A = this chain, B = another copy of it.
Amino acid sequence: MSMDWATFGLDLHVELDSTSGRRSALESALRESIRDGRLAAQTRLPSTRALAAELDLARGTVSAAYDQLIAEGYLTARTGSGTYVTGLVRAVARPARAVDTSGPAAGPRYDLRPGSPDVTSFPTAAWLRATRRALAEAPMAAYDYGDPRGRIELRTALASYLGRVRGVAATPDRIVVTSGAVQALSLLAGVIGRTAGARIAMEDPGLAFHREVVRRNHVDVMALEVDDRGARTDLLLTSDFTAVRAVVVTASHQYPTGVPLHPQRRDTAAEWARSREGLIIEDDYDGEFRYDRQPIGALQGTAPEQVAYLGTVSKTLGPALRLGWLVLPERLIEPVVEAKRYTDLHTESIGQLALADLITSHAYDRHVRSCRLRYRSRRDLLTGRLEPHAGQRLTLRGIPAGLHAWIDLPAAGPSEHDVLVAGTARGLALGYLSSHWHDPDGRPQGIIVGFGTPSESTYPIALDTLNHVLRRLTLRR
C-alpha cells in the first residue's frame, strides 16, 4: 500500500510496507523526508485525523508515529496550531550523533551542539602505545571469547579509578563493561522491563534519545520534573509514581540544565529506592569535569545497593571507542550479565585492554586533567562573552562543569527558532532546550551550548559567531 501526500500540499510518497509495521513505515517515510529535505523546516503536517483518513490507518497509529518523531526531535507540537517539522533535525540528533559523518559536507562550520568532546584532542599516540603494551602482556585467552562482564584487567583498573576519582564503591565483580552508555541504559531498561507494567522515571528536561532507548525496551517513561535543585526525587514517593521501578538521574550535573542534585534530593532518592525496592540509575556522563571545586562524589558511593552507576569514556576520550561501564547492586549482577551475554556476548577486548593500560599507567588521569583545563577556559570564555547580554534577556545557567551550558531564552526574548535561523545563516549549530522536554508544550525555550565540541582553533570563532547572533537578536527585540 502506498500513498501520495500531494493532497496535503506535501510531496511525500509513503510506502506502507506491511512487514515492518505501519507505524514504523510511516515514521521511516517521515524521517527520511525530513532528513533529505523534502519536508522542509517549519512545514506543518496534516492533523492526525486527516492523515489517518487519507492513509486508511488508525488515528492512534498516526499519533504514535508523530509522538515518536517528536521524541526524536524531528517534529514539534505547538499548542492549538498543529505539528511542525522542527528544522532542528541535525541539531537535535546530535546528542546521540548517530548520523553519517563520513561523507562530504559533514556538518556545520561552527559546531556548538552538545554531546561530544573535542575529538581532535584524542590521544592517538598514547592510545596506540597502550594498545601495543596491552597486547604484548595479554594472555592468549584475551583473544578468545571472554567474560560478559568484560576484561578483568579493565574491571580492576576501573574499580580503583572510580573509587579514587568519583567515590564509587566498586569491586571488579560488580562492574560490567558495556559498549557505551547507551547500551548500559538499554541493558538496565531491559531488565526492569521484565516486570510487567514497570516504569522508569526520567528527568524532564532530559535527553530525548535516552527516553527512546528505554521505550524500545518496552518500558513506559514517566516525566520527573527538574528544578534548581535537580530532579524532584521527592515526587517519587507520591502515588503518581507507584509503578516506577527505576529513576534515571544525572546527579552531578543535570543534563541539560546543569544543576547538581541537591543533597536532600539525593537522600530522598536513596530512601525511595530502599523503601520501594527501586533502582537509581546514576548517569555520570561528565563527572570528571567540574571547574570550581572538587567534583561531588557519585550518589552510588552512599547507596551502592540502590544505585546502578553508569559511566563512559565518551566525554573524556571520545565517543568512537564505545566504552562504558556499569557498577551494579548485587541483585542486578546476574540479570544484567545475562542480558549482556545474549545481546553481544561481551564488549570487544582490545579496546578494553588498552583503556586498562591507560588507566593504570595514569595516562588517563593526565589526559583528563589537561582536558579539564582546556574546557574550563572554554567555559570562562563563553561566560565572559555572554555577560553583556546577561543584564538584558539572556542568562547562563548551571554550575561550572561539564561540556555544555544552558542559556535561558525568556518568553519576551528571541525564540529558539529566531536563533536557529540566524545561526544557520552563519554556519552555526547549537542545541535547543525544546527537544529535551517530555512535552514541549508551553515549556521554556533555551539554547544548549556544547562548548567542548569544536577544535581548539575553531572555538574562538564559533564563540564570536554565537555572540554576534545573540547580540543582534537581543538588540533587535
Q: Which residues of A contact B (CB under 8 A)?
A: 17-21, 24, 28, 32, 96-103, 106-107, 115-116, 119-120, 122, 124, 127-128, 131-132, 135, 139-149, 151-153, 178-180, 182-183, 186, 191, 194-195, 212-213, 216, 277, 318-323, 331-332, 334-335, 339, 341-351, 455
Interface centre among A182, A194, A277, A348 (most CB of B within 10 A): A348
Question: Nearest chain-B residue to A18 (Cβ)?
Answer: B277
Asked whether A344 and B143 contact (CB < 8 A) given A131-B128, A152-B102, the answer is: no
- Give the Cβ gap from A343 to chain B, nearest Cβ, in Å: 6
**Docked-complex contact A141 and B351, CB < 8 angstroms:** no
Looking at the complex, which one of B98, B122, B143, B186 makes contact with A143 (CB distance below 8 Å)? B122
Using A99-B147, A195-B21, A320-B349 as known contacts, say yes or no to A135 and B141 having CB atoms under 8 A apart: no
> A120 CA to B138 CA in the complex, in Å?
11
Contact present for A334 and B147 (CB under 8 Å): no
Q: How far is the CA of A265 from the CA of B110 in the complex (A)?
A: 57
Is the beta-carbon distance between A344 and B144 smaller than 8 angstroms?
A: no
Q: Is there an interface contact between B102 and A141, defined as CB atoms closer than 8 Å? A: yes
- Which of B116, B131, B178, B348 has a CB less than 8 Å from the CB of A144? B116
This chain: copies in complex = 2
Distance between Cα atoms of A346 and B348 in the complex (Å):
13
A101 touches which one: B141, B183, B321 (CB < 8 A)?
A: B141
Quick one: closest B residue to A132, CB to CB?
Answer: B128
Interchain CB contact under 8 A, B194 and A20: yes
Q: Given A131-B131, A140-B119, A186–B344 Cβ distance below 8 Å? A: yes
Given A98-B147, A277-B19, A351-B351, the answer on whether A342 and B186 have CB atoms closer than 8 Å is yes
* Chain B residues whose CB sits within 8 angstroms of the CB of A153 once the complex forms: 102
Contact check, B186 vs A146: say whether CB atoms are below 8 A apart: no
**Inter-chain contacts of A19 with B (CB < 8 A):** 195, 277, 331
Across-interface contacts of A322 in B (CB, < 8 A)? 344-349
- Given A98-B145, A143-B319, output 9 extra A-B contacts at Cβ < 8 Å: A20-B191, A20-B331, A20-B334, A100-B152, A119-B143, A128-B135, A143-B318, A144-B318, A321-B350
Could you say which residues of chain B place their CB within 8 Å of the CB of A101? 141, 144-147
* Residue in A18, A20, A455 whose Cβ sees the most chain B Cβ within 10 Å: A20
- Which 3 pairs of residues, A with B, have the shortest CB-CB distance? A97-B145, A119-B143, A322-B348
**Nearest B residue (CB) for A278:** B19
Least Cβ–Cβ distance between A22 and chain B, in angstroms: 11
A216 to B145 Cα, complex, angstroms = 20
Q: Residue on B with the closest CB to A218?
A: B218
**Cβ B350 vs Cβ A320 within 8 A:** yes
Q: Are the C-beta atoms of A96 and B341 separated by less than 8 Å?
A: yes
Nearest CB in chain B: distance from A321 CB, A: 5
Q: Chain B residues near A277 (CB, 8 Å)?
A: 18-19
A139 contacts B102, C-beta separation under 8 Å: yes
Q: Which residues of B contact A102 (CB under 8 A)?
A: 139, 141-142, 146-147, 151-153
A183 to chain B: which residues have CB within 8 Å? Answer: 343-344
For the complex, what is the distance from the CA of A148 to the CA of B182, rounded to whole Å? 13
Chain B residues near A179 (CB-CB < 8 A): 179, 344, 347-348
A194 touching B320 in the complex, CB below 8 Å, given contacts A122-B143, A147-B101, A147-B102: no
Measured between beta carbons, the chain B residues less than 8 angstroms from A348 are 179, 320-323, 348, 351
Taking A102-B146, A320-B146 as contacts, is the C-beta distance between A124 and B135 under 8 angstroms? yes
Partner of A334, one of B28, B103, B131, B350: B28
Chain B residues within 8 Å of A332, by CB? 20
Least Cβ–Cβ distance between A275 and chain B, in angstroms = 14
Distance of A99 Cα from B149 Cα, bound (Å): 9
- Complex contacts, A351 vs chain B, CB 8 Å: 348, 350-351
